[in-house]
Amino acid sequence: MAQIVDLGPIWRQLLGNKPPETSRHIDLFHKRVEILQKLPPEILRCGHNASLTREELDNLLTTFSQENSARTISFVIRFLAKGLSEGRKTLGWKVAIPPVTITIKREQSRFTPAGFVELSRLRQIEAAFIKSLRNASALSYEQHLGRLLLSAMLFGGLIQRQWLEPWLRAISKPKVMIHDTILWVDMERVWQHPRKASDVYYEGSRKRNAEAPIFMNRRWIGDPVTRSLILQWLQLPGLIDRKNRHLPNAYDLVTMFLKKVGLAKELHPVNLKHLIVMAEIRLGLIVPSYLASYAAGDIVSVSVPAETWTRLLSGKAVPRQATGGPGNDEDHALRTQKPWESPFHSMMLVPDEQRNLLSRLRKLFSKTRGVKKSIPSLLSEIDLFVKANAAQLCPLILFLAKWSEYLLSDRGRNKPSTVERYLGSVAAKLLAVFENEDLQEMETAEFIEFYDRLVETVTSYNESGYALQTLGRFHRFLVQHHGVANIHSGYFSKRSGPPETRVNANLVSQTEFDRLKTVLGFEDNNRSRTATACLLVAIFGFRCGLRRNEVLFLRVRDIIGRHKPELVLRPTSKRGLKTSGSSRRIPLHLLLPPDEMALLHEWLSQHELLGKEALLFEMLGRPMEPMPESNLMRPIREALHRATGDQTLSFHTLRHSFASWLMVRLAGNAAKLRSAAPFLDHPEFEEPRVMALRKSLLGNEYLGRPAAFAVSSLCGHADLSTTFANYLHLSDWLLSRALSDPSAIPDLDVEALIGVTALSRASIYRNVTNRNMRFFTGWPHLFRSLLAKGNMDLGDPLLLSAKEPNTNRIEFPEENGYHRLWLVIEKALTMHQVMKISVAEIAGRLLVSQETLENWFAKARYIANLRVDENHHSYRHRTVARHLELVGHDDERRELWSCKTGAAMKDYFRNPKRKTTGLNTRIHPLKQKWKKSISQSLHPERFPIAPRLDAEQQLVERYMTVFEKLSPDMKEKVIQFVDYYCESYCKNSGGLWHSSASWARNHLEVLDMLCVPTGNIELVDFKTIGEGPKERSVRRKGCEEKLGVAGVTWHAIEKRLTNKRVSCGIGIRDIVMVGGSRRASYAFRYMMYILRIGYWD
């Protein structure tokens, strides 16, 4: 450290303090210093615009790699990459970044010398088992169970100790179900968070109530030998009478069977663990390593729920409702609908406005003049707050308001001070984390991720614990009353649980996805633009595994290549990725069928004129703004519900489906894959298509872990365990299929096959391909024969509730007429005035007649040229810089402005504000650049100029969306007011002055129709000489009564803002919150201009 004098702040912070000489980290510290000394001086000092080429970096690392171990190189390269990335981001370095090595956990070795010694003992146990099949001696009930358990462990992959007892319980109940030739057992075991010492007081009383137990489920699918033995066992007489008796443990059952078949005692397994180790060695020799790891529990994979499994096997819709807590019919009705009915709930809302609304909600709990409010009055105020601001409340604040009402009600029974404490603990942080997210579209893992981010912002340990408990109360309310994804209560006590507590293991089959496309109108060439966007978004989710935010902010440039298109996912200024490993390249030409690829090509061809940076799913007329999320996600979710009957499905389920079905196609034997299970009967699982996919993605290495790593890479995961635990839900079926392969089935001679199948010798020989019994191919036939012979009803009971899926199309809103017309008007004005495109070309691009365009442009010119009066030449709606003058018009009748002769032109630029208090004062990056003004005064030919602030743009979107949903009579009233507004408004006043109370009331009525909140309306009057505060208050109150409003903000001015003298009158302004301050809004005025141009006739 002392040798590097000019070490910059980036490296100094990453390097940290020098550890003691006795520390084990001192060697790594010296290696980092060594690599820093080899860097160029300008990078070492953290200077601006430093450079380091790829060749220089490779030479540096080559020399360093020759002198150090692989572990040291990995740590040093990670340190170097982090510093160079930070410098490129903050200091403008032009440097190459070294690739960082990803550490993959090595799988535990199953093949050791000691293991192979035990393998010989296992062969003798296996031989004794096969011998028992030849000699059908009488077995007791326990010995039968021991034989079944040993068969399931040796040949069925049941080698995880904690699932042996649940398997025995399920078999002895019995809970065995069959569909065609597939036999499975749904096992269940209970898991609870262990108690801690802090959970109990010193007196012995419990501090916390015990969390609700977690029911962990796993599906075991039988191999050919074991499922045949189970069928025989189920036909034993007196089984029903013995199924409730107490059973010995698993090890005792196996040893009882081995004693019965005469196996020598010294060959018996020492204990249950010993038997599991032997069975695991055998399993590792016949199945891929990742399936052996799944069977042993080294890799976790959650099975799909029973309803989903039945739906996949039957191909029918199986009803499944979203899980909620206990409640009455009213609660159930709430869980099946959205809690808000705002006309623009799909909009991106203004953050400052939402923070202000949340502050107002919390202030309702404050004391009034030192007196606490009663609960009935608080409930009334909250209800009024929701009704008055329903138009602009984001989903989260509305949920918080409903939660507050619930806590204060007779069912919640909380004091107002308690509710105030809850809101103060988490409300502001929830708004900062969730923003405009639709909570009812989120999954358990997403909630946990957002809650983790919230807790990280709390610095105090005690406060973080209280905040987590408060989140638990809030989330339980959401689950019980609004049907959001459930989180186990242990999470809110800082206790980690099994994957079942955070994974929504659900899938959609290929056939069900075809139904989803039908519901969205895939076969209709005249479908709406929104329907086409929904189809493509669903295709990206199901075929490519994209997350919600990844697909919503896709750009045109992200899809590269024409003949073999690929999708390149990378972080952008509008959207970051979940992790650094989420950047990936997805081969669309391999994953999308031809008809879906044709639809994507057609959509891309319509976006070529918008530019490479335009969003792929953009708002019409605004290529840089995404379509509202709910306009895309809600139809997809509704289509999922119709196609499957499962009300718990969401868009993220498509990502789960992508991972699971890709794993099925890449792993195992591709021969006859389509006929291997009912849910694989689809052209996507045809052998030629599967082999083409494998050859392109894996080459010749598809018989092992490369398939699992390929799936993990395309999902954007750096860790394979993340893919298995959260996204692969058919590992149980993949294991069963691998164990059903002829090479995995034990060698059975004719006598053993007769003992297993109870078929005649002639039937056995008819199903043998050659003299080697190992290739016995009649297992499906024998299974059906046994099932028919036993005359047993082992069908799935969930099939009783299954029904034919609903494939009726979703009706999308009409996109003709008034709907979204204002965006087309805005785009046409920009193309005509800014881009200088001719009317004929605009008509061809926007599919609007030239006559209509000429009419729009003429109205825009008319409004722009309105004057205050005949004696004053100033414009009513625009301000022109003094150095400019109108010199004429071009061929398209656009205004031509030039600088007056001898007039000094105003500076088009402004210098950034710089502080001179110190030499090292940091300047904000945005102020380091020159900014060009686009004000109306310097560009008078552009009228009207679209709002630039995000808050203003969102207000325009909101007002226009509300207007388009008004009834015809209400629209007519608004449009009549538009003409009065344009003829009377004066830009200098920032509002509209009324000398008549009737016109003022009409103005307020229009604002109310457009859902402009009362807090955004400001009344303006003149200061009167000699009028005191009391007189002014009385006068304003009388004015409010005359206008029929209450609770509005007043503003007094000292000078006249209009050139026309007004003896008495009142001004009305529309206000917007920007950066915490109030200012006159341009959004409402811009809306008036658009309505006057395109809607007024």
Mean pLDDT value across the chain: 80
> Does 174 sit behind a cis peptide bond, omega within 30 degrees of 0 on the bond before it?
yes
- In this prediction, residue 791 has a pLDDT band, given cuts at 50, 70 and 90, of low
Residue 231 within a domain: yes
Are 572 and 640 in the same domain? yes
Question: How far is Cα 519 from Cα 755, in angstroms, rounded to an integer?
Answer: 51
Q: So what's the pLDDT on residue 152? A: 94
The residue out of 679, 707, 728 marking a domain boundary is 728
Sign of the Cα pseudo-torsion (201, 202, 205, 211, in order):
positive
Reported as half-sphere exposure (CB side, CA atoms, 13 A), residue 692 has a value of 12
Q: What's the CA gap between 169 and 191, in Å, rounded?
A: 16
Same domain membership, residue 142 and residue 59: no
Number of structural domains found in the chain: 5
pLDDT at 1063 over 80: no
The better pLDDT of the pair 560, 787 is held by 560
Together in a domain, 60 and 120: no
Where residue 336 falls among pLDDT bands split at 50, 70, 90? very low
- C-alpha of 996 from chain center: 53
Predicted local confidence at residue 206, as pLDDT: 45
Same-domain status, 353 and 234: no
In a domain, 641, yes or no: yes
| Confidence check: pLDDT of 338 > 50 | no
Residue 140 included in any domain: yes
Beta bridge partners of residue 896, listed in sequence order? 888
Peptide bond before 944: cis, by omega within 30 degrees of 0? yes
Asked if residue 932 has pLDDT above 70, the reply is no
255 against 721, higher pLDDT:
255
DSSP assignment of 380-421: HHHHHHHHHHTTT--HHHHHHHHHHHHHHSTTT---HHHHHH
pLDDT band at 764 (very low <50, low <70, confident <90, very high): confident
CB 197 within 8 A of CB 173: no
285 shares its domain with 333: no
Q: Are 291 and 387 part of one and the same domain?
A: no
Q: Which residues touch 464 (CB under 8 Å, ≥6 apart)?
A: 455, 458
Beta-strand ranges (E) seen in 869-952 are: 884-889, 895-899, 909-910, 931-932
Q: Are residues 531 and 602 in the same domain?
A: yes
Q: Is beta strand 182-191 parallel, antiparallel or unpaired with respect to 176-179? A: antiparallel
Question: Does residue 808 form part of some domain?
Answer: no
Distance CA 741, CA 738 (A): 5
Domain extent, residue 14, equals: 9-95
Q: What angle do CA 920, 924, 927 make, to 5 degrees?
A: 115
**What angle in degrees, to the nearest 10, is found between the helix axes of 70-90 and 26-37?**
50
Highest-confidence segment of 611-615, 971-975, 1058-1062: 971-975
Looking at residue 231, its pLDDT comes to: 84
674 Cβ contact partners less than 8 Å away, ≥ 6 residues apart? 680, 681, 682, 685, 686, 687
The single-letter DSSP state of residue 570 is -
Question: Which 3 state secondary structure label does DSSP give 511?
Answer: helix
Kindly state the average pLDDT of the residues 585-610: 90
Q: Please check whether residue 405 is in contact with residue 381, taking contact to mean a CB–CB distance below 8 angstroms.
A: no
- Tokens 């038997």 belong to 275
**pLDDT confidence tier of residue 331, bands split at 50, 70 and 90:** very low
Residues 430, 541 within the same domain: no
Find residue 555's DSSP bridge partners: 615
Residues 6+ apart with CB under 8 A from 528: 521, 812, 813, 814, 815
| pLDDT greater than 70 at residue 630 | yes
Is the Cβ–Cβ distance between 661 and 312 less than 8 Å? Answer: no
Q: Which of 105-109, 704-708, 785-789 has the lowest mean pLDDT?
A: 105-109
Cα–Cα distance list, 633 to 437, 502, 533, 551, 850 (Å): 12, 22, 10, 11, 36
Residue 714 confidence (pLDDT) above 80: yes
Question: Which amino acid, one-letter code, is at 85?
Answer: S
Q: Read off the pLDDT of residues 908-923 as tens digits, 9 standing for 90 and up.
A: 334 444 444 443 444 4
Q: What is the pLDDT of residues 111-158, one digit of tens each?
A: 677 777 788 888 899 988 988 887 766 788 888 889 999 999 999 999
Q: Which H, E and C letters describe 787-838, residue by residue?
A: HHHHCCCCCCHHHHHCECCCCCCCCCCCCCCCCCHHHHHHHHHHHHHCCCCC
Q: Give yes or no: residues 391 and 457 share one domain.
A: yes
pLDDT on residue 158? 94
Residues 260 and 391 in one domain: no
Query: Would you state the pLDDT for residue 179?
Result: 87
pLDDT score for 906: 46
Q: Which pLDDT score is estimated for 513?
A: 96
pLDDT class of 75 with cuts at 50, 70, 90: confident
User: pLDDT tens across 650-666, in order?
Assistant: 899 999 999 999 999 99
Contact 682, 698 (CB under 8 A): no
Residues 115-127 pLDDT 10s: 777 888 888 999 8
Rounded Cα gap, residues 171 and 186, in angstroms = 10
Return the SS3 of 8. Answer: coil
Residue type at 923 in one-letter notation: I
Residue 514 has pLDDT above 90, yes or no: yes
Is 750 a domain residue? no
The answer, yes or no, to whether residue 312 has pLDDT greater than 50, is: yes
pLDDT, one tens digit per residue, over 947-966 is: 877 778 778 888 888 888 88
How does residue 333 score in pLDDT terms, banded at 50, 70 and 90? Answer: very low
Say which CATH number the domain at 595 has: 1.10.443.10
Point out the domain boundary residue: 303, 319, 345: 303
Residue 90 banded pLDDT, cuts 50, 70, 90? confident
Q: Is residue 287 part of a domain?
A: yes
In whole angstroms, give the CA distance from residue 565 to residue 539.
15
| Whether residue 351 has pLDDT greater than 70 | no
Structure tokens at 73: 């190189």
By CB atoms closer than 10 A (0-12, 13-18, 19+), residue 817 is exposed
Q: Note whether residue 615 is domain-resident.
A: yes
Query: Among residues 41, 62, 95, which one ends one of the domains?
Result: 95
Task: Examine the domain organization and report whether 657 and 709 are in the same domain.
Answer: yes
Alpha-carbon dihedral sign for residues 143, 145, 149, 151: positive
In a domain, 280, yes or no: yes
Sorted by sequence, the CB contacts under 8 Å of residue 993 that are 6+ apart come out as: 984, 986, 1057, 1058, 1062, 1065, 1066, 1067
On the question of pLDDT at 330 being above 60, the answer is no
Same structural domain, 345 and 464: yes
Q: Which of 168-172, 203-207, 523-527, 1049-1053 has the highest mean pLDDT?
A: 523-527
